[in-house]
């Protein structure tokens, strides 16, 4: 309607001998501009027609942004074209952190568990979320089969579990394994001595492991060479000894000592 009024006014003034000067064609309505003119984006506009293409708010008295030759108010420009923060989904207007194939406000790029910013150690990713080193290992790292704490560095894999190197020791004597050899008893690691102690395969006489032939007598186990007469110390056979006061004797010594 305003354009029609301006057109009629121009015609009336021309008929009355008053010359009017066109100031160009409006880029929005494509009609002549007489009176105030707005120049922007290399074009001329009626002031009321130079508006945000998104919300149609007039832009004559405020800052505007251009995209593909079209004007936008500041709010609509950022809402439409600014990168979005992966945390708050708001537009990022200033500095930006790019990580995990997403963009973030610097103050929103924090540990997904504790909410603290990342220090010099950086961050660790799980399921597309960033975590600080402490929370990542506390939540996702394998647990030591010895102390139960998270394993954050090198580890030993044994007995279907992971272990801190310093925690992979004999369950009984708490000593490391010489040469790296260990024995499994009920899923726990033992040195040779305590493995045989658990299994009841220590020689009663020398208290060392029995790994070969074994004699069982008097509810005990012996190396064959250590099952000897308590008096003469001659080697005995399982079925050819006499027992007295929980000690084994050969027949001659038994007769001699106990008649």
Domain locations in the chain? 24-81, 83-140
Q: Report CA-CA distances (Å) from 111 to 35, 44, 195.
A: 59, 51, 45
Tell me what pLDDT residue 20 has: 45
CA–CA gap between residue 56 and residue 25 (Å, rounded): 20
Long-range contact pairs involving 14-20 (C-beta distance under 8 Å, separation at least 24): none
Tell me what pLDDT residue 108 has: 92
Q: For 36-47, what is the mean pLDDT?
A: 85
**Domain 24-81 falls in which CATH fold?**
2.10.110
Tell me the per-residue pLDDT of 69-113, one tens digit each, with 9 for 90 and over: 889 998 888 888 889 999 998 898 888 898 998 999 999 999 999
Name residue, tokens 């504790």. Answer: 114
Tell me what pLDDT residue 198 has: 93
Residue 21 pLDDT greater than 60, yes or no: no
CATH of domain 83-140: 2.10.110.10
Q: For 201-211, what is the mean pLDDT?
A: 95
Q: Which residue has the higher pLDDT, 21 or 235?
A: 235
Q: Which residue has the higher pLDDT, 123 or 16?
A: 123
Q: For 190-217, what is the mean pLDDT?
A: 94
Tell me what pLDDT residue 17 has: 44
93 φ, ψ to 5°?
A: -100, -25
Tell me the per-residue pLDDT of 2-19, one tens digit each, with 9 for 90 and over: 555 555 555 554 555 444
The string of DSSP letters for 82-140 reads SPBBTTT--B--S--EEETTEEE-GGG-B-TTT-PBP-TT--EEETTEEE-HHHHHHHH
CA–CA gap between residue 9 and residue 16 (Å, rounded): 11
- Domain 24-81 matches domain 83-140 at the CATH topology level: yes
Q: How confident is the model at residue 22 (pLDDT cuts 50, 70, 90)?
A: low
Q: Which 3 state secondary structure label does DSSP give 198?
A: helix
- Counting residues of the chain whose pLDDT is more than 90, the rounded percentage is 56
Check if the beta carbon of residue 204 is closer than 8 Å to that of residue 221: yes
Tell me what pLDDT residue 58 has: 86
Q: How confident is the model at residue 196 (pLDDT cuts 50, 70, 90)?
A: very high
Tell me what pLDDT residue 105 has: 92
Q: For 147-164, what is the mean pLDDT?
A: 93
Residue 174 exposed, middle or buried by CB count within 10 Å (0-12, 13-18, 19+)? exposed
CA–CA gap between residue 197 and residue 189 (Å, rounded): 13
Check if the beta carbon of residue 90 is closer than 8 Å to that of residue 78: no
CA–CA gap between residue 176 and residue 50 (Å, rounded): 82
Residue 51 pLDDT greater than 70, yes or no: yes
Alpha carbon distance, N-terminus to C-terminus of the chain: 142
- Counting residues of the chain whose pLDDT is more than 70, the rounded percentage is 92
Tell me what pLDDT residue 50 has: 87
């Amino acid at each position: 309607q305003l354009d029609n009024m301006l057109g009629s006014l121009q015609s009336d003034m021309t008929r009355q001998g008053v010359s009017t000067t066109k100031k160009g064609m409006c880029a929005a309505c494509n009609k002549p501009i007489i009176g105030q003119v707005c120049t922007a984006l290399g074009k001329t506009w009626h002031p009321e027609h130079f508006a945000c293409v998104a919300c149609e708010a007039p832009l004559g008295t405020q800052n505007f942004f251009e995209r593909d030759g079209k004007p936008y108010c500041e709010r609509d420009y950022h809402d439409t074209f600014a990168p979005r923060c992966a945390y708050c989904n708001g537009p990022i207007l200033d500095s930006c952190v790019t990580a995990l194939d997403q963009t973030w406000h610097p103050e929103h790029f924090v540990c997904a568990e504790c909410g603290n910013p990342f220090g010099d150690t950086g961050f660790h990713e799980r399921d597309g979320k960033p975590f600080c080193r402490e929370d990542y290992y506390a939540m996702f790292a394998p647990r030591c089969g010895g102390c139960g704490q998270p394993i954050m560095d090198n580890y030993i894999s044994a007995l279907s579990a992971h272990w801190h190197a310093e925690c992979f020791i004999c369950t009984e004597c708490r000593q490391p394994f010489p040469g790296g050899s260990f024995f499994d008893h009920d899923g726990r690691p033992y040195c040779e001595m305590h493995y045989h102690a658990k299994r009841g395969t220590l020689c009663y006489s020398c208290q060392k492991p029995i790994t070969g032939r074994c004699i069982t007598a008097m509810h005990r186990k012996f190396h064959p060479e250590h099952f000897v007469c308590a008096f003469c110390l001659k080697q005995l056979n399982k079925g050819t000894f006499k027992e007295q006061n929980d000690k084994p004797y050969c027949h001659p010594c038994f007769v001699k000592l106990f008649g």
